[in-house]
């Protein structure tokens, strides 16, 4: 019987395990993809205390740190979780019992799924302006997506880049009027509607975007901002549905508890941290959720 099982082996899951272990809880981490989304982050430049580190290297270090403390990390998918007072976590035919659970399932950036996209990720194509924007200082960049996140990305990119072209596939921008006005007032930002990308072209690095209407635009970088898709691999605990918002993100309290007692959530999969989906916020949520799980287990034992 574990005190805590953490589902997810990204920054939220690993940090939750780190804190929980230091609170002396008996912890198991089960994660399908060890390292999580961070493995895709080519170079991370915003993890405090480390000027530059490859995403997978950072995650290997987090894993080493918790394993050194004695946390067991299992590379497997959790199929389902049953139980009410205590929980049974089903993993590939085996069952692990635990007093509490942290769901650190992550979210994925929505992809365009067009030619050249996969090949050029980290080579001009990016899903994270906060992470990669500073790499495009004095360059020409594109933002794909004209909703709020796209225009926010454009405003941020205009701090670094010379020309920021926003491309919205439909005939109108979907962002708040105030954001549209701000972008219109910024002479570095050019807003374009009715421009759906067909493919990204580049040999070693992105060179241009070809659009469905036949237009081509030369840029050094393209930021895809068409939303995030939360991981919904675990929707219920027993028969109780985990409450999610309309976008599928798990609704949490300030202490990161879910609607199911004893089940907490952390990282990109939650509605917390103002939905700022970053390594540092995922890690912070992991720490908070671990503290809540520790308090919960302590109260149960008392």
Ligand X SMILES: Cc1cc2nc3c(=O)[nH]c(=O)nc-3n(C[C@H](O)[C@H](O)[C@H](O)COP(=O)(O)OP(=O)(O)OC[C@H]3O[C@@H](n4cnc5c(N)ncnc54)[C@H](O)[C@@H]3O)c2cc1C
Binding-residue total with ligand X (CB under 6 A)? 37
Active site residue 193: no
Active site residue 128: yes
Is residue 16 near ligand X by the rule CB under 6 A?
A: no
Query: 24, 33, 108, 128: which is the annotated catalytic residue?
Result: 128
SS3 content of the chain, % helix, strand, coil (to 5): 30, 30, 40
Nearest to ligand X of 12, 183 (CB atom):
12
Query: 132, 183, 220, 268: which is the annotated catalytic residue?
Result: 132
Q: Is 302 exposed, middle or buried (0-12, 13-18, 19+ CB in 10 A)?
A: exposed
Closest CA to 21 of 296, 266, 294, 299: 294
Q: Which of residues 31-50 bind ligand X (CB under 6 A)?
A: 31-33, 36-38, 40-41, 44, 46
Q: Which of residues 267-286 bind ligand X (CB under 6 A)?
A: 267-268, 277-280, 282
Apex 20 CA angle, 73 and 108, nearest 5: 60
Per-residue contact string for residues 225-264; x = within reach of ligand X by CB under 6 A: ------x-xx------------------------------
Active site residue 132: yes
Three-state secondary-structure class, residue 25: coil
Residue written as token pair 């609170």: 23
Nearest to ligand X of 54, 215 (CB atom):
54
What single string gives the DSSP state of each residue in 72-118? EEEE----EEEESSSEEEEETTEEEEEEEEEE---EEEPP---BTHH
Positions touching ligand X (CB under 6 A) are 7-13, 30-33, 36-38, 40-41, 44, 46, 77-78, 104-106, 109, 127-128, 131, 231, 233-234, 267-268, 277-280, 282
């Amino acid at each position: 019987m574990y005190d805590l099982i953490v589902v997810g082996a990204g920054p939220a899951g690993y940090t939750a395990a780190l804190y929980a272990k230091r609170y002396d809880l008996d912890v198991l981490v089960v994660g399908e993809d060890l390292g999580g989304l961070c493995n895709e982050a080519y170079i991370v430049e915003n993890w405090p205390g480390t000027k530059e580190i490859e995403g997978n290297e950072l995650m290997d270090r987090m894993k080493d740190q918790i394993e050194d403390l004695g946390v067991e990390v299992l590379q497997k998918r959790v199929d389902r979780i049953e139980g009410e007072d205590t929980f049974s976590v089903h993993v590939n035919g085996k069952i692990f019992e635990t007093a509490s659970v942290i769901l650190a399932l992550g979210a994925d950036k929505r992809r365009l799924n067009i030619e050249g996209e996969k090949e050029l990720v980290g080579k001009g194509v990016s899903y994270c302006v906060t992470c990669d924007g500073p790499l495009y200082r004095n360059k020409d960049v594109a933002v794909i997506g004209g909703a709020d996140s796209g225009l926010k990305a454009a405003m941020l990119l205009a701090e670094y880049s010379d020309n920021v072209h926003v491309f919205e596939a439909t005939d109108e921008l979907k962002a708040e009027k105030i954001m549209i006005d701000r972008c219109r007032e910024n002479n570095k930002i050019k807003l374009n509607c009715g421009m759906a990308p067909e493919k990204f072209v580049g040999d070693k690095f992105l060179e241009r975007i070809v659009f469905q209407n036949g237009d081509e635009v030369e840029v050094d970088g393209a930021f895809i901002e068409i939303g995030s898709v939360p991981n919904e691999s675990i929707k219920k605990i027993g028969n109780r549905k985990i409450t999610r918002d309309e976008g599928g993100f798990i609704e949490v309290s300030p202490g990161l508890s879910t609607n199911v007692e004893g089940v907490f959530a952390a990282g990109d999969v939650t509605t917390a941290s103002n939905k700022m989906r970053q390594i540092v916020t995922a890690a912070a949520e992991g720490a908070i959720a671990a503290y809540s799980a520790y308090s919960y287990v302590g109260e149960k034992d008392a």
